[in-house]
């Protein structure tokens, strides 16, 4: 597929997000998901029965065929899921959906993720089960927080990245979240002392360096760019997607070569090459931050900064909308908007480009969605306004 | 749950108190995680060589929250990634006892036997290497 083909092929026509406190969803997981999918269809002015494809990631348990009765699905033509248990696959899910539409295998594809603790248990435990082995367990390493802590320690102690960058990123997320009525942190900007005095989880992470799970579901409706122009909302085009891992990265028992990275360097290189976009062209970033240091490493991997100048770029003032040059997580991100395995970040990528964000970025044309960092496979996507 | 795949010999050696790592019989590459086929040369024959359980701390974390690991590890405990000496920069995991963790710290391991979810589990317990004597240095 040529670059031009991908650029014009597919757009997001509608988004839906239902989010609750962990353990507080009013419906079982499948019910919440049906709500979110119908929300996305209503957002687009699209009949849910005409959705003919579904894609998810992160070992979602809701097999699309079971959604058919509720949605009135006329024909299921395409159902697929990204490999990998973590959020690393989120952007790649859009690549699968785009491939299905561009090749005529389906015409209207929903990318979704649903998580309700009563049904699927703790997401962190499920992610870890994917990779757990006796080497890890014997070392007492049984949670994503600990694995990411090992890599963060290397980032700080060996590569000399100042720990203050984590604080700047977390504060920016909470600033945005505090101004977003939909966010878990609405009305509560993070107190710096509370951050610094948060209890230790796994050094170097304290409580507020870690994202905390929510119940909920998110859905994004994708159709051809042409068809999207006839629907209710301004379309947001999928410019490109890159996914995977380079030799020396993966499920390697902590033998990854570029250990303190988030695994994105080769993926970002491919995304920039595929789209002709550069980091300087990106107006706003939805940065999946399972943990603070991994969010920072992801920005470094994508080329927004380096080990040397990271403290100049990852500054609170620079990361907040509308004044910052690199607005990050305009809904509050996983930290402060809510964490339904990152699907809220994809929804926000669309909203901010439509001008619907609680923290608008004036004239934003291009938004990067950087998926779950540090996972054995990671993925990123670029979204853009249709009039780019 | 058990192992990463082709590492049966590693666990068998550990049960005898020895550390063995896998090497390609064809091209000599140390492969870790262990492999069935050497991705470097395509060789199918792998050998297991006994190596000294020593290296340097590559990274570490001290866990304060109890995530539900082996019960004999009570928080706070330190987990380490150790780059082995003379094994092609390959890294193994384990716990660290008897000293403050720091990247670059020379460490030596003994085999630790514990249990997780009702099954026996072997691992490496690292501790700071004894200071080298003038003779050894």
ipTM confidence = 0.94
Residue B117: how many other CB atoms lie within 10 Å: 10
* C-alpha distance from A291 to closest chain B C-alpha (Å): 14
Q: Out of A143, A203, A253, whose CB is closest to B62?
A: A203
pLDDT score for B137: 40
> Structural domains in chain B?
1-51 (no CATH), 52-137 (2.40.50)
Query: DSSP per residue over A104-158, as a string?
Result: TS-SEEEEEEEE-HHHH--HHHHHHHTT--HHHHHTT--SHHHHHHHHHHIIIII
Using an 8 Å CB-CB cutoff, list chain B residues near A253. Answer: 4, 32-33, 91-93
Q: Which residue has the tokens 């959705």?
A: A51
Q: Given CB atoms, is A201 within the 8 Å cutoff of chain B?
A: yes
pLDDT band for position B76 (cuts 50, 70, 90): very high
Hunting for tokens 């090992």 — which residue is that?
A150
Give the closest-approach CA distance of A30 to chain B in angstroms: 28
Q: What would the pLDDT profile of B1-26 be if each residue is shown by its tens digit?
A: 355 579 999 999 999 999 999 999 99
* C-alpha to C-alpha distances, A107 to A98, A228, A375, A381, B34, nearest whole angstrom: 10, 11, 31, 20, 44
Q: Does A137 touch chain B (CB under 8 A)?
A: yes
Residue A220 · residue A340 · CB < 8 Å: no
> Would you state the pLDDT for residue A141?
97
pLDDT for res A86: 86
Alpha helices, H only, chain B: 8-15
Residue A79's alpha-carbon distances to A56, A120, A242, A300, B70, in angstroms, are 9, 20, 20, 34, 39
Residues of chain A with pLDDT under 50: 1-4
- Residue A129: per-residue pLDDT: 75
Kindly provide the b/e burial profile for residues A292-320, where b requires at least 16 CB atoms within 10 angstroms of the residue's own CB: bbbbbbbbbbbbbbeeeebeebbbbebbb
């Amino acid at each position: 597929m040529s670059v031009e083909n991908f650029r014009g092929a597919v757009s997001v026509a509608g988004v839906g997000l239902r989010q609750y406190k962990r353990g507080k969803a009013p419906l079982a997981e499948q019910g919440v998901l049906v709500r979110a999918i119908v929300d996305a269809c209503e957002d687009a002015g699209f009949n849910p029965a005409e959705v003919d494809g579904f894609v998810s990631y992160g070992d979602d348990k809701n097999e699309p065929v079971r959604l058919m009765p509720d949605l009135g699905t006329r024909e299921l033509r395409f159902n697929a899921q990204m490999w990998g248990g973590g959020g690393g696959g989120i952007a790649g899910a859009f690549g699968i959906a785009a491939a299905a539409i561009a090749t005529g295998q389906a015409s209207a594809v929903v990318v979704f993720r649903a998580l309700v603790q009563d049904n699927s248990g703790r997401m962190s435990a499920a992610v870890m089960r994917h990779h757990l082995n006796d080497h890890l367990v014997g070392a007492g390493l049984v949670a994503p927080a600990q694995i990411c802590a090992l890599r963060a320690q290397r980032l700080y102690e060996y590569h000399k990245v100042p720990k203050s960058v984590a604080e700047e990123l977390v504060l920016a997320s909470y600033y945005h979240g505090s101004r977003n009525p939909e966010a878990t942190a609405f009305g509560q900007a993070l107190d710096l002392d509370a951050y610094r005095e948060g209890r230790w989880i796994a050094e170097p992470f304290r409580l507020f360096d870690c994202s905390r799970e929510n119940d909920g579901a998110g859905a994004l409706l994708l159709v051809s760019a042409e068809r999207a122009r006839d629907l209710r909302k301004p379309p947001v085009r999928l410019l490109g997607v890159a996914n995977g891992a380079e030799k020396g990265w993966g499920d390697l028992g902590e033998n990854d070569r570029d250990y303190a990275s988030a695994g994105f360097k080769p993926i970002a290189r491919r995304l920039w090459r595929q789209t002709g976009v550069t980091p300087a062209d990106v107006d706003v970033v939805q940065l999946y931050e399972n943990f603070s240091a991994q969010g920072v490493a992801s920005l470094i991997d994508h080329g927004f900064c380096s080990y040397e100048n990271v403290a100049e770029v990852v500054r609170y003032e620079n990361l907040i909308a509308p004044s910052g040059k690199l607005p990050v997580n305009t809904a509050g991100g996983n930290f402060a908007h809510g964490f339904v395995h990152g699907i809220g970040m994809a929804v926000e990528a669309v909203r901010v480009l439509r001008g619907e964000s609680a923290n608008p970025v004036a004239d934003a044309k291009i938004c990067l969605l950087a998926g779950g960092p540090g996972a054995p496979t990671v993925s990123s996507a670029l979204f853009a306004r249709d009039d780019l | 749950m058990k192992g990463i795949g082709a590492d049966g010999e590693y666990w068998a050696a550990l049960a005898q108190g020895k550390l063995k790592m896998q090497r390609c019989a064809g091209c000599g590459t140390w492969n870790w995680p262990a492999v069935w086929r050497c991705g470097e040369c395509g060789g199918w024959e792998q050998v297991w060589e006994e190596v000294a359980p020593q290296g340097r701390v590559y990274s570490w974390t001290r866990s304060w929250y109890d995530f539900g690991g082996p019960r004999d590890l009570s928080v706070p405990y330190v987990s380490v990634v150790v780059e082995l000496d003379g094994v092609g920069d390959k890294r193994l995991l384990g716990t660290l006892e008897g000293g403050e963790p720091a990247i670059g710290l020379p460490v030596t391991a003994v085999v630790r036997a514990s249990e997780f979810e009702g099954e026996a589990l072997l691992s490496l317990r690292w501790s700071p290497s004894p200071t080298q004597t003038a003779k050894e240095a």
